[in-house]
A and B are shown apart, each in its own frame.
Chain A
């Protein structure tokens, strides 16, 4: 029982005794809370999953330690047996209404599939192109996630797609467009499952890929494009609710991702590349305007996420400027002094903005 349910349990008795709610009402509330709690992760389940993971690791290290002593056919039987056992176990657990354990069993199956690819490659001295093995693994995870409706397997599929894209990119240093295909496939499955956290994972993966464009396009000079894409995404986030009210819930999210992408591009232009002093000052002003815009919008839209991203961006920017200017442009004491004045000025602006949104309210610390 969660803390909320425990407290509600006490309160319900009190409310019924006070005559505020009827016995029927109490039963109905209890039933509603119980059904909402059903899908939640509790300590027992979490410990159960951790235990299963530990046993899995134990089994794996035992097999790894005795691997070379086992005959080849036995090793193959172990891989295939493990694969069928995991998925069979998952099916049985779904039937007995233990979805959390069932998803854990699916993850074990997906891991065995991946291990199987590597071990068979090793057994038969298959060299091939290693990222292809990761892609095969990712597709296996995607299949398991989509067919067995397992969100954790889809999350693994997304992570593996990122590993695949990252490997291919670092292998030859140019933009790896096929990543978009793999990403779309996994994202489509996540969207079909209407899994919101998964969509965020997909958005983070895509945002990272867009930021990587800055390093791969035009021989590492694509950061300007990254900034433009980021600003376009942010603008789309702002415009979305005006086009269709159904997009309203995604407005702040789009804005936040767009600003992060644009900031990452600006960061690279300022600190990874080596711009001239004039360009650097211009870029620094732009970046500060961007993070302050984020903070202001976070306050206006009452979005803690945007607000904190803005604060984080501000800290990163200020630190970046500090490391770049220390001992060069101006003395560090002068820097701290001016930065301090700037931050206080900002807090005044923030306070004003906040009181304008909620007149009479004190700014929360």
Chain B
């Protein structure tokens, strides 16, 4: 039927509808790719639990969200380790601690060559480097890191409630991490219960 429909068209009509189809499918493909990329990471990535530490503004475009900070957002460089540049990639190796939550075992500007089965590598971006004061040279260099898992969008108006829970340190985040160290938020956990747990699609 479609072939007959196209066959009946004049060349002008055909090129008009071809142009319409190219634009609509092209833009839909961009949106589809965004979704696919994320769903693949959420479905196939390794799950880790990270402890959340407080903060909350409102973003310009994206409605209500809660700003999440993590223990691994600030990494203390071991003495003598190379200090990274701003915006450079930085790799943290995570290992499961005594409880549910995972902790930073090591960090480096280089991607770790090999890892133990109980370890997961997460890739961050250096936001800032804070060096010790001149009178306290024995203090470590602290690297501020950003992983792309710092914003969690919540239904309008419920941000405060969640923020309070984060403030009381009752929250940890369930994160999916793929082989390249890309991370995505899967859900939030409060007191062993999953809150804001959404289906993939």
Contact = CB atoms under 8 A, between A and B. Distances in A.
Interface string B153-196: 10110000000000000000000000000001100000000000
Contacts of A133: 61
A152 interface: no
Nearest to A120: B34
The interface centre, meaning the residue of B17, B19, B60 with most chain A CB atoms within 10 A of its CB, is B19
B46 to A, nearest CB: 18
Contacts of B39: 124
A120 B200 CA distance: 12
Interface in A82-116: 83-84, 87-88, 90-91, 94-95, 109, 113, 116
Interface residues of B, number: 36
Contacts of B149: 125, 127
B16 A127 contact: no
Contacts of B61: 118, 130, 133
Contact of A80 (B28, B199, B201): B28
A147 to B, nearest CB: 5
A84 B24 CA distance: 6
Contacts of A116: 27, 31
Contacts of A84: 24, 28
B78 interface: no
Contacts of B65: 122
A118 B13 contact: no
Contacts of B30: 113, 117, 136, 140
B132 interface: no
B20 A87 contact: yes
A104 to B, nearest CB: 15
B23 A87 contact: yes
A143 B38 contact: no
Interface string B2-43: 000000000001001101101110111011001100110010
Nearest to A150: B23
Given A80-B28, A88-B24, A116-B31, A68 B19 contact: no
Interface in A35-72: 67-68, 72
Contacts of B16: 91, 94-95
Nearest to B31: A116
B85 to A, nearest CB: 14
B135 interface: no
Contact of B22 (A120, A121, A136, A147): A147
A130 B148 CA distance: 11
The interface centre, meaning the residue of A113, A126, A144 with most chain B CB atoms within 10 A of its CB, is A126
A72 B196 CA distance: 13
Contact of A109 (B17, B24, B148, B151): B24
A125 B28 contact: no
A91 B13 CA distance: 9
> Interface residue tally of chain A, by bracket?
35 or more
- The main secondary structure of chain A at its interface with chain B is helix
A37 to B, nearest CB: 23
Contacts of B152: 125
Interface string A138-164: 001001100111000000000000000
A207 interface: no
Contacts of A68: 155-156
The interface centre, meaning the residue of A87, A94, A118 with most chain B CB atoms within 10 A of its CB, is A87
A117 to B, nearest CB: 7
B35 A91 contact: no
A120 B31 contact: yes
A73 B201 contact: yes
A319 interface: no
B188 to A, nearest CB: 10
A76 to B, nearest CB: 7
B165 to A, nearest CB: 17
| 10 closest A-B pairs by CB | A68-B155, A91-B20, A87-B24, A124-B38, A125-B185, A127-B148, A113-B27, A122-B153, A122-B62, A116-B31
Given A72-B198, A109-B23, A122-B153, 20 more contacts: A80-B28, A83-B27, A87-B20, A94-B16, A109-B27, A117-B31, A118-B62, A120-B35, A122-B62, A124-B34, A124-B39, A125-B151, A125-B184, A126-B148, A127-B150, A127-B151, A133-B61, A143-B23, A147-B23, A148-B19
